[in-house]
């Protein structure tokens, strides 16, 4: 069962970026969200959020996050994500639970200084879920990258880190 939403993860990352004075664009935000999701899957064996991760041309993308920030184009994102709270019938800014923020902060710390090009290359590697799926399909066609594939790849990475540490 998913523990948060992709928009809450986006807001967490945008808050981290703002606090450190690091402009963040859509492409980098998408890759950071993906790495949060993937490492969480590898560590916990469950989905961080229920939104699909899709194989787009420049790597993994969460469509809901793309739609929220597409108006920024290639410029830095300057606002937090909002979502409809249907019970209150009002727009809210999704928040990450604090215990989850502590789990995701190391992912931010590892990837925050990486360039967009590095992040694209990293997610496109043949051993990564995007690379495995695109090789099977022949191109990035915005199909869902299965959770089980992401979990399998990142569980092995977590085990390798444990074995070497």
What backbone phi and psi angles, to 5 degrees, belong to 106?
-60, -35
Tell me what pLDDT residue 126 has: 94
Instruction: Report whether 7 contacts 92 (CB < 8 A).
Output: no
Local structure of residue 144 (DSSP, 8 states): B
Burial readout 26-53 (b: 16 or more C-beta within 10 A, e: otherwise): bbbbbbbbbbbbbbbbbeeeebbbebbb
Write the pLDDT tens digit of every residue in 94-134.
999 999 999 999 999 999 999 999 999 999 999 999 999 99
Q: How confident is the model at residue 38 (pLDDT cuts 50, 70, 90)?
A: very high
How far from the centroid of its chain's Cα atoms is residue 73's Cα? 18
Could you tell me the pTM of the whole model? 0.94
- The first and second tokens of residue 15, run together, are 């808050």
Cα dihedral value 36, 42, 43, 47, nearest 10 = 60
Nearest to 14 by CA among 108, 129, 114: 108
* 3-state secondary structure (DSSP) of residue 2: coil
Tell me what pLDDT residue 113 has: 97
Q: How confident is the model at residue 165 (pLDDT cuts 50, 70, 90)?
A: low
Percent of the chain clearing pLDDT 90 (strictly above): 87
Q: How far apart are CA 127 and CA 108, in angstroms?
A: 22
Nearest to 92 by CA among 104, 77, 80, 78: 80
Cα dihedral value 75, 71, 143, 42, nearest 10 = 60
């Amino acid at each position: 069962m998913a523990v948060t939403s992709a928009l809450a993860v986006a807001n967490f990352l945008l808050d981290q970026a703002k606090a450190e004075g690091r402009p963040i664009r859509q492409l980098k935000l998408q890759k950071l969200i993906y790495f949060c999701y993937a490492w969480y899957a590898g560590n916990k064996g469950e989905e961080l959020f229920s939104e699909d991760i899709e194989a787009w041309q420049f790597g993994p993308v969460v469509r809901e996050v793309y739609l929220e920030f597409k108006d920024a184009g290639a410029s830095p994102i300057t606002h937090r994500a909002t979502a409809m709270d249907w019970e209150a019938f009002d727009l809210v800014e999704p928040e990450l639970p604090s215990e989850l923020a502590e789990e995701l902060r190391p992912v931010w710390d590892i990837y925050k200084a990486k360039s967009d090009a590095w992040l694209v290359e990293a997610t496109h590697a043949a051993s990564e879920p995007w690379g495995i799926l695109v090789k099977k399909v022949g191109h990035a066609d915005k199909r869902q990258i299965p959770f089980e594939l992401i979990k399998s790849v990142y569980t092995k990475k977590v085990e390798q880190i444990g074995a070497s540490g």
